[in-house]
């Protein structure tokens, strides 16, 4: 089995000004800088530059929370991959359920965003996941299959391993209701199997994270599942101590 370095990514959503970002990193960098897992901080757009500058001398990487698929154009309010690259950003979250739910993010757009990010040199963190009624009516497998097939359609087989996928069941996001380690493992193994149907080699390399109410006290059990390669952490990543505890759990 290939060695996959775990990733712990902090999705701050619409939290933390530049000043708060600097304060968090001043406290957090000494705690997580020498850890084994890769650590990625995902602040809001205005705080990206400060985060890039603060993390420059460390192993911590910085990702944005969204981008447009075109490099430039008449798309008011949007930000492109080359603009993120110019800031020194390393990656970008794409297809978060909050963007799908509140901002009309579609699989069609994601099919263009994921390869656009890769081509620009950004590591995409693609989020997929079912909602509560879909899980209750046994549609999880169908939903994940549809999202993975559609969202990765534009990525060449030999580059699939460069994408990071986050399995985030919508019913577990911000609810305090975490998926059980078995549910996370089952869904993530399914996702890896979908990648395997395109390339066995890339399926062994691709990192698939779990996200949804990850906390210091449940992180270790979730991340120790054989197919779970880390976590995308929302609420619990806002506190330097809590986030450091989650990173430590994955080490
Ligand atoms: P949460 O959010 O950890 O607050 O549930 C996770 C996410 O939305 O990425």
Catalytic residues: 96, 168
Read off the pLDDT of residues 11-20 as tens digits, 9 standing for 90 and up.
999 999 999 9
C-beta separation of 66 from 81 below 8 A: no
pLDDT at 2: 61
Distance CA 91, CA 37 (A): 16
- Ligand 1 center–CA 171 separation, angstroms: 10
- Ligand 1 center–CA 98 separation, angstroms: 10
| Sequential pLDDT tens for the chain (251 residues) | 468 999 999 999 999 999 999 999 999 998 887 778 999 999 999 999 999 999 998 999 999 999 999 999 999 999 999 999 999 999 999 999 999 999 999 999 999 999 999 999 999 999 999 999 999 999 999 999 999 999 999 999 999 999 999 999 999 999 989 999 999 999 999 999 999 999 999 999 999 999 999 999 999 999 999 999 999 999 999 999 999 999 999 88
**Which of 132, 164, 168, 209 maximizes ligand 1 atoms within 8 Å of its Cβ, making it the mutation to test the pocket?**
168
Read off the pLDDT of residues 68-87 as tens digits, 9 standing for 90 and up.
999 999 999 999 999 999 99
Contacts of residue 163, defined as CB under 8 A and 6 or more positions apart, other chains included, come to 114, 118, 123, 124, 126, 152, 155, 206
**Which of 235, 236, 243 maximizes ligand 1 atoms within 8 Å of its Cβ, making it the mutation to test the pocket?**
235
Distance CA 213, CA 209 (A): 13
Rounded to the nearest integer, the mean pLDDT of the chain is: 96
Work out the number of other CB atoms within 10 angstroms of the CB of residue 86. Answer: 10
Task: Return the biggest CA–CA distance within the chain.
Answer: 48
pTM: 0.97
């Amino acid at each position: 089995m290939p060695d996959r370095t775990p990733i712990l990514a902090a999705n701050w959503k619409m939290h933390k000004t530049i000043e708060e970002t600097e304060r968090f990193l001043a406290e957090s960098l000494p705690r997580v800088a020498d850890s084994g897992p890769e650590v990625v901080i995902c602040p809001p757009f205005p705080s990206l530059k400060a985060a890039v500058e603060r993390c420059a001398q460390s192993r911590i990487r910085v990702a944005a929370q969204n981008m447009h698929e075109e490099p430039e154009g008449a798309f008011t309010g949007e930000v492109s991959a080359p603009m993120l690259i110019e800031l020194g950003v390393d990656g970008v979250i794409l297809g978060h359920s909050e963007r799908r739910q509140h901002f009309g993010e579609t699989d069609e757009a994601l099919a263009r965003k994921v390869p656009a990010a890769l081509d620009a040199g950004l590591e995409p963190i693609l989020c997929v996941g079912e909602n509560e009624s879909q899980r209750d009516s046994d549609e999880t497998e169908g939903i994940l299959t549809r999202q993975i097939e559609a969202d990765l359609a534009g990525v060449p087989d030999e580059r699939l391993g460069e994408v990071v996928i986050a399995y985030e069941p919508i019913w577990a996001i911000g609810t305090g209701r975490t998926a059980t380690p078995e549910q996370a493992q089952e869904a993530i193994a399914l996702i890896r199997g979908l990648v395997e149907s395109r390339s066995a080699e890339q399926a062994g390399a691709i990192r698939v994270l779990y996200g949804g109410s990850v906390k210091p006290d449940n992180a270790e059990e979730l991340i120790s599942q054989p197919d779970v390669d880390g976590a995308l952490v929302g609420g619990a990543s806002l506190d330097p101590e809590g986030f450091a505890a989650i990173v430590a759990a994955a080490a």
